[in-house]
Structure 1
Amino acid sequence: MSRLVIIGNSGSGKSTLAKALGDAFQLPVHELDLIHWLDGGIRRDQSAAKSMVSDCAGGESWIIEGVFGWLAEMALPRATALVWTDLAWSECHDGLLRRGIRRGMTPGDQHELIDWAGG
């Protein structure tokens, strides 16, 4: 039984690591970005998002990854391991540029994400 939470800054490699581990160990991967955001960049209702994380964390084995600590913390009581991708901002910035625009983002959205992640 493996239940892994991966947290860290945007661009730190959380999704890449989660996918690699999920593939290697045949574990379902749950991305907090997909739970937090609806299509069109609209935030999901917090109670609905929390309910979704609770459902994911109720499974026997899983990987939950993301930047949203308020959602990740819901899975921690059931997690068997926690990974924090603690990289320098310069590496995260480069990671965001390398991955480019995804999930329906616009170039403006990417710039906003980089500004937000840089804090």
Structure 2
Amino acid sequence: MLPADVLTRTLIIGNSGAGKSGLAQHLAARLRCPAFDLDHIHWEPGGYGRARDKAATLALVRDAAAGACWIIEGVSGRLARIAAPRATAMIWSAIPVAECLDNLRRRGVRRGRGWTT
């Protein structure tokens, strides 16, 4: 693992099912800093039913990225780009699509969305 100071502000991006959330939680616990899921920021609470207002979403990402220590993870490149200039490390979780799909099937329904592929 890299030295903790390099990971102080880490951006993790990749496909759904690529292990981003688990890695983010692990790093956040190790560094004692908050982890932010871009899905939780983009969508209104309660699932994937309604996207949050765009201005509010952008403000939430900017606020998260303004912190001294954070882990931000997600699929959304548009939102990740906001945090990227402040990141001290970036991790691209590039595992094969078949493995991502297997992970999604294994984990089951999350935040109101099921996977049937």
TM-score, normalisation: structure 2: 0.87
Q: Tell me how far apart the structure 1 counterparts of residues 30 and 81 of structure 2 sit (CA, whole Å).
A: 25
For residues 24-68 of structure 1, the C-alpha deviation after alignment (integer angstroms, 9 at most, x for no partner) is 121210110100111252111111101100000000010000001
- Alignment of 1:110 with 2:108, yes or no, is no
- Structure 1 residue 52 and structure 2 residue 42: aligned? no
Cα displacement string for residues 50-96 of structure 1 (whole angstroms, at most 9, x for unaligned residues): 11000000000100000011001100000000000001000100111
Query: 2: CA distance between counterparts of 1:47 and 1:110?
Result: 28
Matched residue of 2:114: which SS? helix
Q: Percent identity?
A: 49
Equivalent residue letter for 1:9: N
Structure 2 distance, partners of 1:95, 1:46, is 30
Q: Which amino acid aligns with 1:25?
A: L
The 4+ residue runs of structure 1 with deviation greater than 6 A are none
The answer for the alignment partner of 1:29 in structure 2 is 35
Unaligned segments of structure 2, at least 5 residues: none
| CA RMSD of superposed structures (Å) | 1.3
The aligned residue for residue 10 of structure 1 is 16
Corresponding residue pairs, total: 109
Determine the C-alpha separation between the residues in 2 that align with 1:99 and 1:42: 23
Q: How far apart, in 1, do the equivalents of 2:62 and 2:83 lie?
A: 7
Q: Name the TM-score, length of structure 1 as normaliser.
A: 0.86
Query: Which blocks of at least 5 consecutive residues in structure 1 are unaligned?
Result: none
